[in-house]
Amino acid sequence: MNEIVQGLLEAGRMIVTLDRDLIEITLRSLQVTLTAVVIASAIGLPMGAWLAINRFRFRRETIALLNALMGLPPVVVGLIVYLMLSRSGPFGVFGLLFTPTAMVIAQVIIVTPLVASIAHQAIRDLWAEYHDLLISLNTTRGQRILALIWDGRRALLTASLAGFGRAIGEVGAIMIVGGNIDHATRVLTTAIALETGKGNFALALGLGFVLIGLAIALNIAIHALSRTERDSQW
Amino acid sequence: MVSSILPLEVAGACVRKRGAHLVGPVDLTLTGKGISILMGPNGSGKTTLLRLLHGLERPATGSLRWSAPATEARQRQAYVFQTPIMMRRSVLDSIAYPMTLHGERRARAREMARDWAERVGIGHAIDRHATVLSGGEKQKLALARALIRQPDVLFLDEPCANLDGRATREIEAILTRARDEGVRIVMATHDMGQARRLADEVLFLLKGRLHSSGPADTFFSHPRTPEAKAFLNGDILE
Ligand SMILES: Nc1ncnc2c1ncn2[C@@H]1O[C@H](COP(=O)(O)OP(=O)(O)O)[C@@H](O)[C@H]1O
Ligand SMILES: [Mg+2]
């Protein structure tokens, strides 16, 4: 009990005094995750919109595959990326294993299906609603896609934020491909796992608070977005 | 550019969906001026016929022929849905949308949209988001959006079905003004009073077929068939 209280106090002190390790690890977490989310959004958002609007031969199968990929266990993604990037693997020559780049790659693979799937649902619903109007107004395919993406922009942003939420809290895959190396690939989640194992609860708790803080900020952002959606502020 | 996309010639047109026969065969010529009111019991095919005429449904058999090339005919007609479809945009941008689609400059499109908003009585709401308007305001927005490109023909599917008496009268005033300015109007309604107030011509639909069509006076004062009589008496026909 005493240990927990002491840990909490120490964690609070580290956050208030902007402890250097804490800051470094937090910034690396943000850097890796934001990079991964930007790339995943650049792939996933247009892909989701495209799947919602176009009819093509293997559409159902593609959507089913996307949903299956969403359920991939991150640890398995980590393992596969590890094998690809390891010395003897097909991309071994690039020497990416145990670098932040490897972590970004793993997170992109984990997050893209989620972003694409949420974007797909949102645009599909909007398309169902707009369909008759846009046909009646004699729009071209390009004009339709533009209208759906523009009017669905809040939902698309929500998809990216959900991707951020998944990536920032992920530990299994980046532990495997990043290696949790101090001052190189250590991020919030892997550091918490390590410090807890070492019995270093103060640092683990401090890191945990930062992570919780980020998660709360994220949820507030998503909530605010859905509120502007309902009240239609922008 | 021809002077009008009318007349529209419909010959033996049928609509089928998933094997079910919904409407037709319909033969009809749409020409002249004024307001044609499409009447008939629920499920008689009013919506389906309007959608067919506007090109939202394809005829399984038969044909529709406008007196203009297909693209031009599409550009010069508009449709107001029973449940207004509101884009997630401001009222002003919603009304301007058909003009911007048409390549009009944004500033000019908005200027026109402002005029139209005033004209249909939602000038006070142009900066609001379209989705938060009342039912009557939404339908007025839909009317302004439909009229802004000055269509030759305007189709409306029970636009006042969910509105109170006052909003209904306001919309009727907008429609009679549009008619007086030369817009050919085809509108479905099951509101007998509204039909009597607006109709120049009545198209009476029964079980997917055009049971009768002719001048409104004749239809209301001397219904020719027992079915038309029963319908006017309010006896339900299914
Ligand atoms: N998408 C559809 N699929 C199958 N049947 C439909 C569809 N839309 C309408 N119908 C049927 O077609 C008939 C005509 O419907 P509708 O045109 O909506 O009539 P109204 O507008 O006069 O009430 C009804 O029997 C209705 O159940
Ligand atoms: Mg109907």
Verify whether ligand 1 is closer than 6 Å to residue B44 (CB atom): yes
**What is the ipTM, given to two decimal places?**
0.93
Q: Looking at residue A49, what is its pLDDT?
A: 87
For residue A65, name the pLDDT band (cuts at 50, 70, 90).
very high
Q: Looking at residue A56, what is its pLDDT?
A: 86
Q: Looking at residue B159, what is its pLDDT?
A: 94
- Cα distance between residue A189 and residue A126, in whole Å: 36
Q: Which of A213, A177, A152 is nearest to A84 (CA)?
A: A177
Starting at the edge strand found earlier in the chain, the sheet holding B35-39 runs: B77-80, B153-157, B184-188, B35-39, B201-206, B209-215
In this complex, the residue of A126, A136, A152 whose CB is nearest that of residue B56 is A136
In this complex, the residue of A126, A138, A232 whose CB is nearest that of residue B75 is A138
Chain A hits for B147, Cβ within 8 Å: none
| Residue A229, token pair as written in the block | 């959606």
Please say whether the beta carbons of B25 and B13 come within 8 A: yes
Q: Is A127 on the interface with B (CB under 8 A)?
A: no
- Chain A: give the shortest CA distance to residue B32, in Å: 23
> Do A133 and B131 make contact, defined as CB atoms within 8 angstroms?
no
Mean pLDDT of chain A: 90
Mean pLDDT in residue range A134-150: 92
**pLDDT, tens digit, 9 for 90 and up, residues B37-55:** 999 999 999 999 999 999 9
Mean pLDDT in residue range B88-92: 95
Chain A hits for B57, Cβ within 8 Å: none
Kindly give the distance from the C-alpha atom of residue B164 to the centroid of ligand 2, in angstroms, as a whole number. 18
- Chain A: give the shortest CA distance to residue B30, in Å: 19
**pLDDT, tens digit, 9 for 90 and up, residues B59-88:** 999 999 999 998 899 999 999 999 999 999
CATH architecture of A2-227: Orthogonal Bundle (1.10)
More confident residue, A67 or B236: A67
Identify the residue whose tokens are 């006896």. B235
Verify whether ligand 1 is closer than 6 Å to residue B65 (CB atom): no
Length, in residues, of chain B = 238
H helices within B89-225, ranges in order?
91-101, 106-120, 135-147, 165-180, 192-198, 216-221
Domain map of chain A by residue range? Answer: 2-227
Backbone angles phi, psi at A69, to 5 degrees: -65, -30
Verify whether ligand 1 is closer than 6 Å to residue B46 (CB atom): yes
**pLDDT, tens digit, 9 for 90 and up, residues B151-188:** 999 999 999 988 998 999 999 999 999 999 999 999 99
Kindly give the distance from the C-alpha atom of residue A30 to the centroid of ligand 1, in angstroms, as a whole number. 54
Cβ neighbours, 10 Å, residue B26 = 24
Verify whether ligand 1 is closer than 6 Å to residue B238 (CB atom): no
Q: Is B97 on the interface with A (CB under 8 A)?
A: yes
List CB contacts of B24: < 8 A, sequence separation 6 or more. B12, B13, B14, B15, B59, B60, B61, B62, B208, B209
Mean pLDDT in residue range A179-194: 94
- Please work out, in degrees rounded to the nearest 5, the angle formed at the alpha carbon of residue B190 by the alpha carbons of B187 and B196: 75
Mean pLDDT in residue range A124-148: 93
Domains of chain B, each with CATH number or no CATH: 8-86+133-233 (3.40.50.300)
* A152 has a pLDDT exceeding 70: yes
Percentage, residues of chain A above pLDDT 90: 63
Q: Which of A51, A39, A186, A32 is nearest to A109 (CA)?
A: A39
**pLDDT, tens digit, 9 for 90 and up, residues A92-120:** 999 999 999 999 999 999 999 999 999 99
Backbone angles phi, psi at B215, to 5 degrees: -60, 145
Q: Looking at residue A234, what is its pLDDT?
A: 47
Mean pLDDT of chain B: 92
Q: Looking at residue A232, what is its pLDDT?
A: 55
Q: Is B70 on the interface with A (CB under 8 A)?
A: no
Task: Report the half-sphere exposure of B42 (CA within 13 A, side-chain side).
Answer: 4
